[in-house]
Amino acid sequence: MKFPIYLDYNATAPTDPRVVEVMIPYFTQTYGNAASRNHQFGWEAEQAVEKARDLLGETIGGGGREIVFTSGATESNNLAILGVADFYKEKGRHIITSPIEHKAVIDPCQALEQRGYDVTFLDVDDDGCISLEQLEKSIRPDTILVSLMAGNNEIGTLNPLEEIGKITRKHGVLFHTDATQAVGKIPLDVEQMNIDLLSFTAHKMYGPKGVGALYVRRKRPRVRLSPIMFGGGHERGMRSGTLNVPGIVGFAKALELCRDEMESEAERQIALRERLHQRLQAELDHIKLNGHPAQRLPNNLNVSFGYVEGESLIMGISDIAVSSGSACTSASLEPSYVLRALGVGDDLAHSSIRFGVGRFTTEEEIDYTADKMIFAVKRLRDMSPLYEMVQEGIDLSTVNWTSH
């Protein structure tokens, strides 16, 4: 085993050596600008880009001409939300989303609120699931966009995209999904699911960082966007800027590998995730699974450990790379807004750990992680007077705490 152990695949994935291999020639030999139409260097670069575009489009059930290349999913989300809001502003200024979306969706929505748009944030239940009934009831004559993610980056819960798509199509409202965590991990089909805009990125699927894409439907209905970046009119006027040719080539290769290995990898990763979860459950009490138990990303496990402080726990497992549920800023320690939206109390939200397994995760690493976690949690609880009180059967909610 190599240390530290990497279990943060929902944050980013290492670039697969097979991806790096196909990218290298585009740095040193085929280095033309894909927009240079006057010579062979440009033509070769353009050819590589178009081949990648076709592969990306086909893999999600669309066409190559519906793919717009961006710098990543954050830009794709911004282009989708701000681009639709501006282009369709005469039709309406109402957008529907959820409180557990990635900040790259929530922040542009909040920016639109400052400009006079109306944003409805749907409720989510304890597992992070929306109500389809509430979604349908929230649609108004001035609703122009519904933006709901495919799979949640923190808790792994999957949205029922096909059912959402049926509702949006019935009401003539555009449907955008941030599929950053889902593309390459689970099957997606923009036609079958009636998705009009879909954001994704290379680095979550063993591709390079700094390159992403936005699927923009061309027919039934044709989706129009106002650009948010100007200068040169690249990507059919939707996104100006010299294309990252090596990145795009790597993106396509990464997705091709994910597509070909999807079924076997999903099976293997679910087994690893369950192995870890079962070990933790067998040895520790007062632990809580966050997110839907079954409808979740294959590689995601998010667990809260009662009566343990999250930051201390992470320090206790310093040779394992995981993500903490609390986002630590210099001024304050705020628990995860996703877990808060699920109704998880601050104490449990602070002690949540996200484990993300991936292509290069081994059973040996999972077993080591389970041992290390169990040891760290027990050690911290041994020092916790609260845990001792709970073990003695005291209901902490009835305790009258006084300060002297």
Q: How far apart are CA 377 and CA 363, in angstroms?
A: 21
Let me know if residue 1 belongs to a domain: no
Residues 6+ apart with CB under 8 A from 395: none
**Does 390 fall in a domain?**
no
Q: Looking at the structure, do residues 349 and 212 belong to the same domain, yes or no?
A: no
Q: What is the pLDDT of residue 404?
A: 64
Q: Is residue 248 part of a domain?
A: yes
Last residue of a domain, one of 238, 257, 276: 257
Task: Give the side-chain half-sphere CA count within 13 A for 130.
Answer: 29
pLDDT in the model for residue 333: 64
348 within a domain of the structure (yes/no): yes
Domain check: are 245 and 312 in the same one?
no
Q: Phi, psi (5° rounding) for residue 122?
A: -65, 155
Structural domain span for residue 175: 17-257
In a domain, 392, yes or no: no
Domain boundary among 225, 257, 289: 257
Assess whether 354 and 229 both reside in one domain. Answer: no
CA distance 112 to 225: 15
Catalytic residue numbers?
328
CATH number for the domain spanning 52: value is 3.40.640.10
197 and 273 in a common domain: no
196 with 169, same domain: the answer is: yes
Query: Is 397 contained in some domain?
Result: no
Domain CATH code at residue 307: 3.90.1150.10
Calpha distance 115→103 (Å, rounded): 18
Cβ neighbours for 253, distance < 8 A, ≥ 6 positions apart: 18, 19, 22, 23, 207
Pair (207, 283) in one structural domain: no
Same domain for 175 and 296? no
Residues of the chain with pLDDT under 50: 328-331
What gap in Å lies between CA 99 and CA 110, rounded to an integer? 11
Helices (H), 201-244: none
**Phi, then psi, of 68 in degrees rounded to 5:** -115, 125
Q: Are residues 200 and 312 in the same domain?
A: no
Answer whether residue 2 is part of any domain.
Answer: no
pLDDT for the residue 329: 42
What's the number of domains the chain is made of? 2
CA 135 to chain centre: 21
356 domain-assigned: yes
Residues 48 and 114 both lie in one domain:
yes
Query: How much is the pLDDT for 328?
Result: 47
Residue 321, strand partner residues: 6
**pTM for this prediction:** 0.96
Encoded tokens for 348: 């449990």
Whether residues 242 and 323 share a domain: the answer is no
Task: At 246, list the tokens.
Answer: 């090596």
Domain endpoint, select from 236, 257, 278: 257
Cβ proximity of 117 and 256 under 8 Å: no
Q: Cis peptide leading into 221, omega within 30 of 0? A: yes
pLDDT value of position 334: 76
Question: Same domain for 270 and 378?
Answer: yes
Residues 140 and 30 in one domain: yes
**pLDDT value of residue 325:** 62
